[in-house]
Amino acid sequence: MGVRYCMSYYTSLALSGTFAKYTASVILSKPNSSSSVILADKGESIKASYLHHLSKLNGGAVVGEVARNSSFHPKTLHKNPKFGLTLSLTP
């Protein structure tokens, strides 16, 4: 199992002036799965995602993601989860 930590800082110039943006993430990797937690926008938003490879079912994958922005009302969190399924089809 591999663990990676990432931190980045960058500045951008907007019409109203300059602003800075910070991002930190933790990524856990296994041969058949990967998960990550990303803290972004100076700590204002957080995103967690999970990917699992399905090698027994044509090499597809199942993906889940939850994102949260601190400016949202707490009751809106259940409206934001995203889930996906991808399958590789062979002719």
Tally of structural domains, the chain: 1
Residue 82 has a pLDDT of: 60
Beta bridge partners of 29: 2, 34
| Confidence check: pLDDT of 70 > 60 | yes
pLDDT tens digit string along 33-58? 888 888 777 677 788 888 888 776 56
- Please give the residue range of the domain that contains residue 60: 2-86
Closest CA relative to residue 84, chosen from 48, 55, 52, 36: 52
Give the span between the Cα atoms of 77 and 74, in whole angstroms.
6
The answer to whether the CB of 50 falls within 8 A of the CB of 33 is yes
Greatest CA separation for the chain: 54
| Confidence check: pLDDT of 19 > 50 | no
pTM of the model: 0.57
Give the span between the Cα atoms of 91 and 89, in whole angstroms.
7
Q: Is residue 91 a part of any domain in this protein?
A: no
Give the span between the Cα atoms of 77 and 56, in whole angstroms.
33
Q: Is residue 29 a part of any domain in this protein?
A: yes
